[in-house]
A and B are shown apart, each in its own frame.
Chain A
Amino acid sequence: MTHRIIAGFMPLLDSALLVAARTKGFAEAEGIDLTLLRETSWANIRDRIAVGHVQVAHMLGPMPIACNLGLTPLAAPTVVPMALGLGGNAVTVSNALWSLMEREGARPDLSPAGTGHALREVVACRARDGWARLRFAVVHPHSSHNYELRYWLSACGIVPGQDIDILILPPSLMPDALASGALDGFCAGEPWNTVAVAQGSGRIATVKAAIWRQSPEKVLGVDAAWAGTHPEALDALLRALHRAAVWCGTPANREELAALLSDPAHVGCPADRLLPALTGQLRIAPDEVAAVPDFFVPQASAATFPWKSHALWFYSQMVRWGQVAHAPRAAQIARDTYRPDLYRRALGPLGVALPSANAKVEGALTRPTPVGSSGASLVLGPDGFFDGARFDPDSLDAYVAAQQGSPDAQRA
């Protein structure tokens, strides 16, 4: 029996699992006729799920939660049975801003604390001299980009929205906006940081993998109604995506994956702009390469497992930045959006490593650590936040309260 599935995606590096599932035959082997529909905005992806043009889509991790909380127009109930990898973003700043930061002690080591401290000094200087606020951009208000950029700034003593403006811009426009001076920095996924460095408009100051190591990014968003009526098709798709993730995570396949993604029907940018994120050899400036081994993690460390603690952390940031009011009911909606039960149902029979828990304390692992699992053995982490904080999903209220109590949250 053939399952016909149409998947919406954005031309970004982390569409890799969907692209590999389609082009390397993993979907076909599961009896799925998988069509990939390339989109130009996250709003289009949301609309296409809402009107039933696509059943599943490459989505920003917080987006399905925002849909289910009714924070976006035309939102259809959406579930997340699988993540599409960990990490993959960076913060790029203009050459002009970097030289100011360097003067304040920033080093080309991608250290969030070091570069953040220097940025705070620059911000303070500008405020003293009466200069305009710096402008940073992210791709979407309900994105990990937005939350990790704000997390980094706040932890370094910079109040987002007060000390620095944060705008929304499509990532394809960010490198040019940086070059023209319309922007001072941005947080985006690959290949856009590499593109900005390659065209000489900026340099990478820090990376998501350093702000919060092995942290959640894109997910597979699924129309909840379709998931309910098509359990076999969904399971088959998750099996295909799991095999695609294993293939994407195999170092020997990186060159081929970069070539597949470079196709105009997929990401449509030269393979050498895609390879740095896949190899972890990041070109952070025209003449500097930095090694970030877990810059983008497609499969290892349970990278495709839809942790409820990830959903709840995203929710805690929605509360922190005034996008939703904290309430037990809202937290429950966020928790229920991520569906490890569907992941287990589909992948359990394959004998793959399944974590025993559905949620974990985020930021607790300082080194790779074997954890309880069924199927194959499983090693998680390291997964630390750069400021040493931890997020315990069982103490959500305390975490939310601590954030609200900090002066940077008063603005919202």
Chain B
Amino acid sequence: MADPLLSILVIDENRARAAIIEAGLREAGHDQVTLVHSMAGIARRIQEAAPDVIVIDLENPNRDMLEDMFQLSRAVRRPVAMFVDRSDSASIAAAVEAGVSAYVVDGLRQERVKPILDMAVSRFNAFARLTRELQEAREELEGRKVVDTAKRLLMKRRNISEDEAYALLRRTAMNKNRKIAEIAQSLVTAADLLGDEP
């Protein structure tokens, strides 16, 4: 069950990912969510937001600075690393695996925080999956383009049909144990070097 009383600060320079996490938190009923995209003036931002929970991505090189700041903080609400008692090592491992870390104010009960961290972990993983899929889709599109160019080259040079050109590419790829797109790319590069027009 979401705990709407908790104030949550999300530090992530990746705006898209931060937005996905914020959406998840709001869907879960948290309405005190602050996003921070830049480390400039971070001490003041933290003071103003007075967060119960701070979520930060592990790519951020400023974790050492933040932890030092928390350590020296004279505030009563001093943030400490998530589950510092290590009572839930599986959660910690899942968070590090997903690339996210969290700090919670000292004394806050773990069961109040765990759903938030679990949500952040699943959103981080979903974001990584989306990024990967987008990358794959891009590569596939690029691959398709280069295969089309290679087919046109073969059709012109060998005077064969489109189906025959594709079969030739596929056969070569199988014989050389490589991807069709790779064979097509070599062909296009070679033609380019030799000055052939596709």
Contact = CB atoms under 8 A, between A and B. Distances in A.
B68 A51 contact: no
A404 to B, nearest CB: 20
Number of contact residues on B: which range applies?
20 to 34
B13 to A, nearest CB: 11
Interface string A42-75: 1110011011110000000000000000001110
Contacts of B68: 140-141, 168
B96 A73 contact: no
Number of chain A interface residues as a range? 20 to 34
Contact of A42 (B64, B71, B80, B86): B64
Given A140-B68, A141-B71, 9 more contacts: A40-B63, A41-B60, A47-B58, A48-B96, A51-B92, A73-B84, A168-B68, A169-B65, A170-B64
Interface string A218-239: 0000000000000000000000
Interface string B87-106: 00100110011000100000
A173 interface: yes
B133 interface: no
A43 B100 CA distance: 12
Interface in B147-196: none
Nearest to A74: B81
B65 A50 contact: no
Given A50-B92, A74-B92, A43 B97 contact: no
B80 A41 contact: no
Interface in A148-186: 167-170, 172-173
Nearest to B59: A40
A162 to B, nearest CB: 15
B136 interface: no
A82 interface: no
B48 to A, nearest CB: 20
A173 B63 CA distance: 13
Interface in B21-62: 58-62
A154 B80 CA distance: 31
B89 A51 contact: yes
A139 interface: yes
Contacts of A52: 93
A139 B92 CA distance: 25
A169 B64 CA distance: 7
A383 B97 CA distance: 42
A51 B58 contact: no
29 contacts: A40-B58, A40-B59, A40-B63, A41-B58, A41-B60, A43-B67, A44-B58, A44-B63, A47-B96, A47-B101, A48-B96, A50-B92, A51-B92, A51-B97, A52-B93, A53-B97, A73-B80, A73-B84, A74-B81, A74-B84, A141-B68, A168-B64, A168-B65, A168-B68, A168-B69, A169-B65, A170-B61, A172-B61, A173-B61
Contacts of A41: 58, 60-64
